[in-house]
Amino acid sequence: MNYCSTCGEKVSLIIPEGDNRHRYVCESCETIHYENPKIVTGCIPQWQDKILLCKRAIEPRYGLWTLPAGFMENAETNIEGAARETAEEANAQVENMQLFCVFSIAHINQVYTMYRGDLVGGMASPGAESLDVALLDESEIPWKNIAFQVMHETLRLYYQDKKKGVFNTYYGDIIKQADGSFMVKYF
């Protein structure tokens, strides 16, 4: 951030009075420009004994598989966002959404919220951001070609709970370690 989005003057990176963090502040119009984490919201679309995955047509992780998810927008609810992303990426409708897991990923300033939902009619086709979509059972999940650690972990929890016959709701931190690998810490 270089300029004030309110008045167009240069901003300074300072700790405002009464605060304890550096913020971009406009010393001309006195606007403090807070920057906060973003929410990525998505779901596991379920159909009979299968779930829906999408093959990414965009970077990062072009060509790898993921659950439908994306940045939550203003003026929508968290569930509406997850359903919208499913519609955009897989031309699919989901209903009966239940919160399944929340992950904090502090090093990229993101919080993921993932739901379980029922895929209406088992119908899906690739949206603009997907090369392909597929309804897969557990044996068909491409574990080595899942796009993101958070999706791998969501799928792992899903099949763990599915075996038990009871779905819980999880919170975890995904922590990038010094060697570049990820650790997941549950609470």
Residue of the chain from 27, 35, 49, 140 that contacts its own copies (CB under 8 A): 35
Residue 43 Cα to chain centre, angstroms? 9
Tokens of 105: 């990923």
Q: What is the DSSP letter of 71?
A: E
The least distance separating its own copies from the CB of residue 78, rounded to whole angstroms, comes to 4
Q: Return the number of the residue (3 or 143) whose C-beta is nearest its own copies.
A: 3
Number of chain residues interacting with its own copies (CB under 8 A)? 47
Q: Within 10 Å of residue 132's Cβ, how many Cβ atoms?
A: 14
Residue 76 Cα to chain centre, angstroms? 15
35, β-bridge pairs: none
The least distance separating its own copies from the CB of residue 83, rounded to whole angstroms, comes to 11
> By CB under 8 A, is residue 33 in contact with its own copies?
yes
The least distance separating its own copies from the CB of residue 79, rounded to whole angstroms, comes to 6
Cis peptide bond upstream of 60, omega within 30: yes
Strand pairing report for 170-176 and 94-105? parallel
Contacting range for its own copies; rule: CB under 8 A; set: 74-82, 119-127, 136-144, 152-160: 74-82
3-state secondary structure of 38: strand
Q: Which of residues 79-98 bind its own copies (CB under 8 A)?
A: 79-80, 97-98
Which stretches of the chain bind its own copies, using CB under 8 A? 1-8, 10-11, 18, 21, 24, 33-39, 71-80, 97-99, 102, 104, 106-107, 109, 111, 113, 128, 168-171, 173, 187
